């Protein structure tokens, strides 16, 4: 991952807005309204920021207990683990709107190997202790989901890559962006939300967030670093119109909340190679 580029001039947000426009034209053609697929990484500790990136996914294997999963990845890990950190690996079948977050427990000093086990040639094993759906299904109604490993393997086994994030109480959630713009000298993106789950709970205590947007074929794109907050729809009418139209096209009804991510810096990202 390249060093972050802070917006030091008024032309830089517009440059990245143009890059998102080009990506929007081709990234998710199966979505029936113009959109970008992003991955919003949040944490549960005020003032902290998730470290996020893309890694190659070798395979997903069963854990020691039912509903646990071992995630075998390859590449450069986005950050070393600090006490209180956990890891989330997000793996999705984009065109099916199916995916999972596989999460480790939080580590303390000396227990890092319980979450992340290094191997040779830039290989790592993420010891997942809990898996959460990121799609509509029978398990999402229970905040403490228990998903059989066979179902995880059937849905996402053999996938090529994973979005991973490190941080306290870290969460990685796919979000469709139906509108972005430059406002007040900053690149802003908008998404709707309908349920008060982990992302909402994290943002309630810490609005610092990183949003990954990348080409799903080349696996190259951007990490948009900034803040994400709920905003009143009546004050962002154009954005809300696009979000509502996108949700309607997908048959989701209307969002109950509108969120705006305000980008302060950008990192170029690519799938981490060994």
Which DSSP helix (H) or strand (E) runs through 97?
Answer: none
* Residue pointed to by tokens 């890891």: 87
Residue 9 pLDDT class (50, 70, 90 cuts): very low
Q: Which fold has domain 5-272?
A: Pnp Oxidase; Chain A (2.30.110)
Instruction: Let me know if 166 is exposed, middle or buried by CB neighbors in 10 A (0-12, 13-18, 19+).
Output: buried
**Cβ distance 198 to 173 under 8 Å?**
yes
The model's pLDDT over 90-143, given as tens digits with 9 standing for 90+, comes to 998 888 888 889 999 999 988 999 999 998 888 999 999 988 887 544 444 444
Integer Cα distance of 139 and 199 in angstroms: 17
Residue 259 pLDDT class (50, 70, 90 cuts): very high
Domain boundaries, the chain: 5-272
Residue-averaged pLDDT of the chain: 88
User: Which of 2, 6, 131 lies closest to 78, judged by CA?
Assistant: 2
Dig out the tokens for 101 from the structure.
Answer: 């977050």
The model's pLDDT over 20-55, given as tens digits with 9 standing for 90+, comes to 999 999 999 999 999 999 999 999 999 999 999 999
List C-alpha distances in Å: 160 to 30, 93, 139, 216, 252: 20, 10, 25, 11, 29
* Residue pointed to by tokens 């205590």: 205
Please report the pLDDT score of residue 143 as a whole number: 43
The model's pLDDT over 162-203, given as tens digits with 9 standing for 90+, comes to 999 999 999 999 999 999 999 888 999 999 998 778 899 999
């Amino acid at each position: 991952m390249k060093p972050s580029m802070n917006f030091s001039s008024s032309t830089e947000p517009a440059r990245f807005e143009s890059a998102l426009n080009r990506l929007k034209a081709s990234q998710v053609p199966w979505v029936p309204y113009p959109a970008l697929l992003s991955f919003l990484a949040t944490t549960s500790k005020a003032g902290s920021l998730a470290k996020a990136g893309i890694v190659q996914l070798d395979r997903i294997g069963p854990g020691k207990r039912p509903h646990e999963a071992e995630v075998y990845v390859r590449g450069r890990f986005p950050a070393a683990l600090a006490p209180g950190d956990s890891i989330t690996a997000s793996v999705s079948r984009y065109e099916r709107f199916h995916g999972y977050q596989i999460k480790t427990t939080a580590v303390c000093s000396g227990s890092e190997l319980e979450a992340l086990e290094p191997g040779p040639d830039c290989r790592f094993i993420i010891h997942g202790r809990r898996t959460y759906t990121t799609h509509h299904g029978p398990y999402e109604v229970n905040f403490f989901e228990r998903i059989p490993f066979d179902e995880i393997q059937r849905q996402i086994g053999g996938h090529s890559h994973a979005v991973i994030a490190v941080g306290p109480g870290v969460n990685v959630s796919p979000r469709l962006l139906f509108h972005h713009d430059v406002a007040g000298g900053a690149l802003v993106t908008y998404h709707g939300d309908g349920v008060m789950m982990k992302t909402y709970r994290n943002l309630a205590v810490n609005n610092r967030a990183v949003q990954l947007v990348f080409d799903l074929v080349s696996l190259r794109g951007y990490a948009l670093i900034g803040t994400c907050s709920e905003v009143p729809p009546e004050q962002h009418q154009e954005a809300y119109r696009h979000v509502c139209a996108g949700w309607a096209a997908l048959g989701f009804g209307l969002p109950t909340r509108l969120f705006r991510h305000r980008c302060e810096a950008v990192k170029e990202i690519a799938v981490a190679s060994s």
